Amino acid sequence: MVKVILPELGEGITKAIVSYWYFQKDQAVKQGEDLVELTTDKATFNLPAPASGKLSDILAVEGQSVNVAEVLATIEEG
């Protein structure tokens, strides 16, 4: 199980809003593909899937505020 974690986006940016999931739970994802879009005040950031497999769980829904280092989803590799 690979955790999808919100990385550091820049100095002073501690949180972001989940603005768009490109995939739904249980869908197959490929490493490097845009997985989820996060939005800060003036920027959107597409987080790529860290691994290939099945998007087994989405822990942060669209509209939810998340902190850096927080787990957004899990991917079951394979």
Partner 1 sequence: MEFSTLDLGLVDYETSLSIQRELARDISLGKRVSTLLLCEHNPVITLGRLADKNNILGREEDFKARGIAVKNTTRGGDVTLHLPGQLVAYPVFDLRPLGRDIHSFLRGLEKAAVLLLRGYGIGAQTKSGLTGVWSGNKKIASIGIAVSRWVAYHGMSINVDCDLDLFSLIRPCGQDIMMTSILKENAAGALDMVAVKKRAADKFYEVFCQGG
**Residue closer to partner 1 (CB basis): 51 or 56:** 51
Helix (H) or strand (E) holding 15: strand 15-21
**Tokens representing 12?**
């002073």
Closest CB 62 distance from partner 1, rounded Å: 10
Cα–chain center distance at 64: 12
Contacts with partner 1, residue ranges (CB under 8 A):
8-13, 17, 19-20, 32, 34, 37, 39-46, 48
Closest CB 59 distance from partner 1, rounded Å: 20
Closest CB 10 distance from partner 1, rounded Å: 3
Contact 38, 65 (CB under 8 A): no
Contact 74, 54 (CB under 8 A): no
**Residue closer to partner 1 (CB basis): 1 or 32:** 32
